[in-house]
Structure 1
Amino acid sequence: MSKPKLLIIDDDESIRTQMKWALAQDYEVFLAEDRPSALTVLGREQVAVVTLDLGLPPDPNGAEEGFWALSAILEQNPLAKVVILTGRTEKENALQAVGQGAYDFFLKPVEIDELKVVLRRALHVYQLEHENRMLQQQVCSESFEDMLGNSRQIQEVFASIRKVAPTDASVLIQGESGTGKELAARAIHRLSGRRNGPFVAINCGAIPENLLESELFGHEKGAFTGAHALKKGRIESAQGGTLFLDEIGDLPLPLQVKLLRFLQEQKVVRIGGRQEISTDARVLAATNMDLKQAMQEGRFREDLYYRLGVVVISLPPLREREGDVVFLAQGFLEKCIGDNKKKIKGFTAQALRMIESYSWPGNVRELENRIRRAVIMTGGAMLTPADLELDSTYSQYAGKGLKEARNALEKDFILNAMTKHQGNITRVAAELGISRPTLYELMGKLGIDKKSLLHESKA
């Protein structure tokens, strides 16, 4: 297996040489002394990780040329992870570089073992993002009716849609708010024999009850005060196509009776009229409500439920779609960047971690809206947790019980301290403010193996 590629950019030849020999075992190392030579390497090599000294010629005592180099690197390879090497007196410049898209910074003098840990983490993030990008390109090239996802859960939904679409069966689409119920309904319509007919949607929960009957069934001129002209209802308007009844659980009981009659007879009578009008519309319905519970409580008719749900498709919440959240986030980001013509390179590593750990109660809609808002409002080259309005403390443990969240937090603290102190138990215990026996007890409870951790850090 080929080694990952590392580019070292430094105007000091001795530093370049020392770092090359120290890192050559783990990386295929390339060297550059200035911006032009670095860009030449990047033009011919797919570099994963870059170390960059901001002090480059023609101004080795300043940082301006280093910032230009950072910008050019990320423009040429947005996925590359750039680690800034800087002196303690230039820490502010390093922080500014991170704000402009660098992955991290490392203070000189360089401790090679510590730098290896930082580079390994940067490489891991690069590999994850690269895999996600490849997967996204693969799935986008085979996009399923405006619906994205590669998880087993959503692929099962796609398979159900393909099976039911060519039929005329009524379909009930269930799922939490924001899971894409209307997208599923439109996919069924486009894959059906009615694709050339109208797709007529109505939200049963958004229209006042006294107006809903007229919206669905229409009215004759003079049927009630304000009925100045004949009006066809949504059911008639869907002639030859598909009628989509969103939030069907909010349909009042009297209208449930009339809708059931239409489903049985395929005929409607307008308000104020006597003539039965034959219609030919396929009915798709959607709800985020537990209709079986509503039936038990007398709020929804059992016979209507079985008429609507000849086939039931359940859309999984985003938190249950294994591996889809980062994939979807990358897709939404690329779309929003194009729509808003913004020069954004991607997500920071911390933002990706927050995206993966957040529970997304608003599902796909919330994810897309947060990314769209972040793209519009950010002033940086990389989207951060703050841009996405994801609280790092809460979102990391969202969806966990109190005990599970506490164990996860304790494990994170211990692992970070173990990495920092290279497995020195005495120093780790001192930093955490606990005794060595207590630390060993916690490590056992949380499943932390010191030997495997040390082996990983030296790999």
Structure 2
Amino acid sequence: MGNILIVEDESIIRSALKRLLERNKYQVTEAESVAEALQNDLNTFDLIISDLRLPGAPGTDLISAAEKTQVLIMTSYASMKSAVNAMKLGAVDYIAKPFDHEDMIRTVRRIIEEARNKQNAPIPEDQADGESTAEPEVFLERDDKRAALGGLVGSCEPMQQLYKRILKVAPADITVLIQGESGTGKELAAKAIHDYSERKDNPMISVNCAAIPESLIESELFGHEKGAFTGASAARQGLIEAAEGGTLFLDEIGELPIEAQARLLRVLQENEIRRVGSVQATKINIRLIAATHRDLKKLVKEGLFREDLYYRLQVIEIALPPLRERMGDVIDIAEHLVNKHCKRLKLSKILRLTSNSRKLMRKYDWPGNVRELENAIQRAIILSDDGRLHSADLGISQDDWEIPATFTNQQAVPIAAVSDTSDTEQTEQDSDDLSLESYFQHFVLEHQESMSETELAQKLGISRKCLWERRQRLGIPRAKKVAAR
């Protein structure tokens, strides 16, 4: 599958990583330092995986030395800032130690496949004439190397089709109807359409039709004149007028009252608006994007939604897949949300999802979709006290998730029990593997005589309390200090 060079001075980590890669059909070469690595022709490898801190020169020196080969940097949690600097120097990505086996293989596979696809990409014939008719690039934006469009994140096939449809629809300046369950990101899709349209420099006004009282909806949308009704002490511009030149996004349009539907239909037909209490119409120039989680056809049959308005809205339909139909994207979305909220909360470092958190996320069906996932992530970030996000802190009810037998050795346990103690213990226990616990044991036993408890905790990216608890659980005694004679 590929030829990989590992540069790591700790033999237990190097040999464990080698076995992991070889089991996944990769050919592996080892080196203990940058100097030893440079004895090889670096351009013959498909990928170089290097520790950041090495004896002699740092692993980042390999970035400039390897002209054609990408370098993946490994680092401990205490060195995350250095890892970000490595990215700026040209590292393709970084991965934290102790690493999760699945994360490592997924990262390695992605980097190698992306590099090969780039090398093997055919040059379109029309480019020889200086013209290109190729479809626009779907991965227009990147967040920590994940495929994304605007605020939407995901690289599965349904999302790829969604990105392509948005990019085709955006410049057309026509009405769009977005359909999808609550929490799937309908407003993000609408914003992506606006951002890639010719109206991007003008305002996008978002209105949740379900959140405005029925008695106020017409005044809010269309505005009113002074004295139009009790309390109208001054003339007021409506939200539709506020979107002049830009985009009006009407979320949950299925909740719009019939009377307001009739007025909205006139706006779409005549491109003009008349404020409540006014006899004069004003021309407007807006693009309408509507969204709903309800079946508008069914509402039409029930007489709750105007059929003529439905067909006005249904020029282009875009359907957003629920999260349970794109479970391959769950971890990417979760990590994107972790980064987003850690930065928003101004945390000193980006927290990490534990192995069990990832497993739970893949098994749970997320009835509330991305919104529910985001709430779970925010909860876990607030409750975290050791730099990691644990499954027990996600707030997912046991009634909504069935724990697989592999978690519990065929015995059911409460979800609260799948916490930090099992998050690390659930990794592979094969002696050939470098599990999170084996890394912890190795690091503590090797360095506890030369480091204080505070230094050990800082290097491992955990609190002193967590370090003490893990010592107790794993039966690792503290080193005895020899009294000076």
Task: Tell me if TM exceeds 0.5.
Answer: yes
Q: Is the 8 A contact 1:74 1:345 kept in 2?
A: no
Q: Which position in structure 2 is the counterpart of 1:184?
A: 189
Match of 1:338 in 2: 343
1:170 to 162, 165, 175: 175
* Pairing 1:372–2:378 present: yes
Residue 270 of structure 1 is matched in structure 2 by 275
User: 1:233: how far off?
Assistant: 1.3
Taking every aligned residue pair, what percent have the same amino acid on both sides? 40
What is the number of equivalent residue pairs in this alignment?
A: 346
Give secondary structure in 2 for the equivalent of 1:350. Answer: helix
Mapped to 1, the partners of 2:260 and 2:275 lie a distance apart of 13
- Are the aligned partners of 1:204 and 1:247 in contact in 2 as well (CA < 8 Å)? yes
In the alignment, the residues of structure 2 paired with residue 299 and residue 389 of structure 1 have an alpha-carbon distance, to the nearest angstrom, of 37
Counterparts of 1:319-330 in structure 2 under 5 Å? 319-330=324-335
Displacement of 1:200 in angstroms is: 1.5
Letter in 2 for 1:40: L
Secondary structure (helix, strand or coil) at the match of 2:171 reads coil
- Measured in 2, the distance between the counterparts of 1:71 and 1:278 equals 58
Q: Give the aligned residue type for 1:155.
A: Q
Higher helix share: 1
Looking at structure 2, the residues matched to 25 and 191 of structure 1 have their Cα atoms a distance apart, in angstroms, of 44
Q: Does 1:213 align with 2:218?
A: yes
Q: CA deviation at 1:338?
A: 2.9
Where does residue 149 of structure 2 map in the other structure? 144
Q: Which runs of 5+ in 1 are unaligned?
A: 51-69, 83-102, 104-121, 398-407, 422-459
CA shift in 2, pair 1:124/1:322, >3 Å:
closer
Determine helix, strand or coil for the equivalent of 1:337: helix
1:353 paired residue number: 359
The 8 Å contact of residues 6 and 48 in structure 1, kept in 2 or not, is answered as no
Seen in structure 2, the aligned counterparts of structure 1 residues 319 and 277 have a Cα distance that, compared at 3 Å, is same
Q: Among residues 250, 253, 256, which one is paired with 2:258 in the alignment? A: 253
Q: Verify the 8 A CA contact 1:242 1:282 in the aligned structure 2.
A: yes
Give the counterpart letter for 2:341 in structure 1: C
1:352 shift after superposition = 1.0
- Deviation of 1:248 after TM superposition, in Å, equals 0.1
Contact 1:49–1:123 (CA<8 Å) still a contact in 2?
no
Superposition map of 1:291-440 within 5 A: 291-339=296-344, 340-390=346-396, 394-396=400-402, 409=405, 413=409
For normalisation by structure 2, the TM-score amounts to 0.60
Partner residue in 2 for 1:79: 95
User: CA offset at residue 9 of structure 1?
Assistant: 5.8
In 1: Cα distance, 2:96 partner to 2:211 partner: 47
Asked if 1:127 corresponds to 2:143, the answer is no
* Contact 1:170 1:310 survives alignment (8 Å): yes
CA–CA distance in structure 2, aligned partners of residues 386 and 133 of structure 1? 32
The answer to whether the Cα contact below 8 Å between 2:141 and 2:150 also exists between their aligned partners in 1 is: no
Aligned equivalents of 1:72 and 1:183: distance in 2? 34
The answer to whether the Cα contact below 8 Å between 2:339 and 2:350 also exists between their aligned partners in 1 is no
CA offset at residue 215 of structure 1?
A: 0.6
CA distance in 2, matches of 1:166, 1:137: 15
Q: Residues 240 and 24 (structure 1 numbering): CA distance in 2 closer, same or farther, change over 3 Å? A: closer
Counterpart Cα distance in 2 of 1:71 and 1:281: 49
Which letter does structure 1 place at the counterpart of 2:373?
A: L
Contact 2:9 2:54 in 1 (8 A): no
Q: Is the 8 A contact 1:132 1:326 kept in 2?
A: no
Change (3 A) 1:246 1:133: farther
DSSP 3-state at the match of 2:149 = coil
Post-superposition Cα deviations, 1:155-211, rounded to whole Å, max 9, x if no partner, equal 211111111111221110111111111111112112222222221221111010000
TM-superposed deviation, 1:124 = 3.6
Residue aligning to 2:54: 40
Q: Hey, what's the Cα distance between the residues in 2 that align with 1:23 and 1:191?
A: 43
In structure 2, the partner of 1:455 is none
**Counterpart residue identity of residue 220, structure 1:** E
- Normalised by the size of structure 1, how large is the TM-score? 0.63
Range that drifts further, 288-297 or 245-254: 288-297
Q: Is the contact made by 1:48 and 1:126 (CA closer than 8 Å) also made in structure 2?
A: no
CA–CA distance in structure 1, aligned partners of residues 21 and 81 of structure 2:
26
CA distance in 2, matches of 1:193, 1:19: 53
Deviation at 1:289, TM superposition (A): 0.9
Query: In 2, Cα distance between the equivalents of 1:278 and 1:288?
Result: 31
Q: Report deviation, 1:373.
A: 2.8
Contact kept? 1:171, 1:285, Cα under 8 Å: yes
Residue aligned with 1:245, SS: strand
Aligned partners of 2:153, 2:185: CA distance in 1, in Å? 10
Shift of 1:309: 1.4
What is the CA distance between 1:376 and its match in structure 2?
2.8
Larger Rg: 1
Partners in 2 of 1:179 and 1:325 — Cα distance? 12
Pair 1:29–1:292, CA change in 2 (3 A): same
Distance 1:345 1:6, change over 3 A: farther
2:178 corresponds to 1:200:
no
Gaps of 5+ in 2: 34-50, 63-70, 84-93, 115-138, 412-427, 431-485
Query: 2:303 corresponds to which letter in structure 1?
Result: G
Deviation at 1:125, TM superposition (A): 4.2
After superposition, the C-alpha distances for 1:333-392 in whole angstroms (9 at most, x for unaligned) are: 223333322434521111111111111122122222322332233101221102222357
Instruction: Give, in whole Å, the separation in 2 of the partners of 1:23 and 1:420.
Output: 13
CA contact (8 A) 1:39 1:73 kept: no
User: RMSD value over aligned CA atoms?
Assistant: 4.3
Q: Distance in 2 between matches of 1:24 and 1:316?
A: 34
Q: Deviations over 1:266-295 (max 9, x none)?
A: 222211111122222111101111111111
